[in-house]
């Protein structure tokens, strides 16, 4: 790292990272016990929110010169934002880490590895829904054709980093053909469905189940055609321009006047959608639009509970509890949108299983967008301790509310050799199974 480049980064921090936001942190340390990387680095302050904010400020103020150790501290942040609800001072850490990543990205090109993963993910898959679909079609073909078995045998996946390999084993089964729709009941609530790129491709069955449940509870569900990926993964990595591009497309794709809610079933997307207003601070027209968009946002668990799913679950015929179901919070659903009770209420009400709270369910599972691909070692450590808790509560079903977490929990189940006894599921699929019989995505 040359001195000139370090100076460039400092200037970039001055441009991108808001000084007042940094000064909101009074360094009390209340965030420390909430931070997964602090805990899993044996209490290293460098890997804590307070430490990272101090680093941002020191770089910005020119008190330290940018180097690899500082970069690593930012790279290791999961972006789970568990520090935000823990912070009495109301520091907007999520915004700060995004600004930081944008500051770094605008000066320094990312590593080859990060580039490869980003390129695959952002340029191709997440930027364009059709490409995502094509990719998933390939996966579908690969899984259906029986090629999968051959490939596993031949060891094709040896070419990829170990984590990718585990993810490959955890890919969901390909979606089946869309079933005939039952005649919808009387319409009460009009809901626009944000399908989400990952949810709409890899977890398509879950999206169908989402619509099934909403219709059963009397909603009219519309799926606006021109919707795009929410932009969260780009935004979290500091690619704010790309995130804004996607957000703008979504603001135009939804007709707010005509609907009661915009519902999503992915915690990560939902959080980002509910903060679209923060993307357009300098553009009053778009900001006004974003504010209205944000007002309509709701996650699927909250909406189902609002619409009376708990009663519906209670009405189901009593069956003996055959397994233990537990819940792993989606960080962004919990920390950004403050939703933690609704998924649990549904799981508690469901017949035929016993809900047990998992210690540390509120702590990140290590998936964190593409974190598990970029920081396999820390992600692996975090997942390892998560799976210990899964085993401790003897869960046979682990429920999540976000595709990244779902994949990560599937990886965990596979890695621990629990695939015979435990399964990871999206909450929607689980509730669908309880109410409409066993045809949820596995």
Binding residues for other proteins, per CB under 8 A?
Answer: 20, 23-30, 32-33, 42-46, 48, 51, 54-55, 58, 63-65, 67, 69-70, 72-73, 87-90
The whole-angstrom separation of Cα 269 and Cα 255 is 19
Closest approach, Cβ 58 to other proteins, in A, equals 5
Q: Which residue has the tokens 């357009």?
A: 280
Q: Which is nearer to other proteins, 26 or 154 (CB)?
A: 26
The whole-angstrom separation of Cα 235 and Cα 268 is 11
* Nearest residue to 75 (alpha-carbon basis) of 375, 438, 433, 436: 375
Residue 146 CB neighbours (<10 A): 9
The whole-angstrom separation of Cα 287 and Cα 301 is 27
* Nearest residue to 357 (alpha-carbon basis) of 334, 326, 386: 326
Q: Which is nearer to other proteins, 64 or 310 (CB)?
A: 64
> 206 and 429 in contact (C-beta within 8 Å)?
yes
Q: Which is nearer to other proteins, 88 or 420 (CB)?
A: 88
Q: Which is nearer to other proteins, 45 or 414 (CB)?
A: 45
Closest approach, Cβ 362 to other proteins, in A, equals 15
Q: Which is nearer to other proteins, 55 or 382 (CB)?
A: 55
Q: Which is nearer to other proteins, 46 or 134 (CB)?
A: 46
Q: Which is nearer to other proteins, 41 or 148 (CB)?
A: 41
Closest approach, Cβ 26 to other proteins, in A, equals 4
Closest approach, Cβ 65 to other proteins, in A, equals 7
Q: Which is nearer to other proteins, 27 or 119 (CB)?
A: 27
Closest approach, Cβ 106 to other proteins, in A, equals 21
The b/e string for 360-376 (b: 16+ C-beta within 10 A; e otherwise) is: bbbbbbbbbbbbbbbbb
Closest approach, Cβ 100 to other proteins, in A, equals 13
Going across the sheet that includes 353-355, the strands are 353-355, 323-327, 397-400, 423-426
* Nearest residue to 191 (alpha-carbon basis) of 262, 120, 264, 283: 262
The b/e string for 182-216 (b: 16+ C-beta within 10 A; e otherwise) is: eeeeeeebebbbbbbbbbbbbbbbbbbbbbbbbbb
Two structure tokens written together for 236: 């979290």
Residue 260 CB neighbours (<10 A): 16
Closest approach, Cβ 416 to other proteins, in A, equals 27
Q: Which is nearer to other proteins, 54 or 427 (CB)?
A: 54
Closest approach, Cβ 7 to other proteins, in A, equals 15
Q: Which is nearer to other proteins, 55 or 127 (CB)?
A: 55
H/E run at residue 222: strand 219-222
The b/e string for 309-319 (b: 16+ C-beta within 10 A; e otherwise) is: bbebbeeeeee
Quick check: helix, strand or coil at residue 400? strand
Quick check: helix, strand or coil at residue 355? strand
């Amino acid at each position: 790292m040359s001195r000139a480049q370090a100076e460039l980064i400092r200037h970039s921090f001055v441009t991108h990272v808001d000084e007042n936001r940094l000064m909101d942190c009074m360094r009390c340390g209340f965030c420390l016990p909430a931070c997964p990387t602090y805990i899993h680095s044996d209490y290293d302050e460098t890997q804590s929110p307070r430490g990272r904010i101090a680093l941002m400020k020191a770089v910005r103020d020119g008190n330290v010169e940018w180097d690899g150790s500082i970069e690593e501290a930012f790279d290791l942040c999961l972006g789970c934002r568990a520090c935000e609800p823990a912070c009495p001072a109301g520091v907007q850490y999520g915004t700060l880490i995004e600004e930081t990543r944008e500051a770094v990205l605008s000066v320094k090109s990312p590593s080859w590895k990060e580039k490869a993963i980003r390129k695959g993910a952002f340029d191709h898959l997440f930027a364009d829904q059709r490409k995502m679909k094509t990719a998933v079609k390939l996966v579908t073909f690969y899984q259906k054709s029986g090629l999968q078995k051959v490939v596993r045998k031949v060891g094709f996946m040896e070419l990829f980093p170990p984590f990718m390999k585990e993810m490959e084993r955890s890919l969901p089964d390909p979606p089946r053909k869309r079933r005939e729709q039952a005649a919808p009941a009387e319409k009460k609530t009009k809901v626009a469905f944000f399908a989400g790129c990952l949810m709409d491709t890899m977890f398509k069955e879950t999206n169908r189940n989402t619509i099934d449940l909403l219709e059963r509870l009397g909603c009219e569900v519309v799926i606006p055609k021109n919707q795009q990926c929410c932009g969260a993964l780009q935004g979290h990595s500091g690619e704010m321009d790309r995130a804004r591009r996607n957000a703008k497309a979504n603001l135009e794709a939804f007709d707010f006047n005509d609907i009661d809610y915009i519902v999503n079933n992915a915690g990560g997307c939902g959080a980002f959608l509910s903060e679209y207003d923060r993307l357009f601070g300098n553009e009053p027209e778009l900001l006004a639009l974003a504010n209205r968009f944000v007002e309509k946002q709701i996650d699927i668990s909250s909406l189902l509970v609002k619409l009376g799913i708990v009663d519906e679950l209670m009405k189901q015929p009593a069956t003996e509890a055959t397994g233990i179901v537990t819940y792993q919070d989606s960080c962004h659903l919990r920390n950004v949108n403050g939703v933690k009770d609704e998924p649990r209420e549904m799981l508690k009400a469901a017949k035929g299983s016993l809900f047990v709270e998992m210690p540390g369910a509120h702590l990140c599972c290590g998936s964190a967008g593409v974190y598990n691909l970029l920081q396999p070692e820390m992600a692996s450590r975090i997942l390892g301790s998560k799976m210990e808790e899964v085993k401790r509560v003897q869960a046979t079903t682990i429920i999540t509310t976000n595709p990244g977490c779902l994949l990560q929990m599937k990886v965990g189940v596979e890695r621990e050799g629990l695939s015979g006894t435990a399964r990871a599921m999206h909450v929607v699929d689980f509730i669908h199974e309880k109410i409409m019989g066993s045809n949820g995505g596995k």
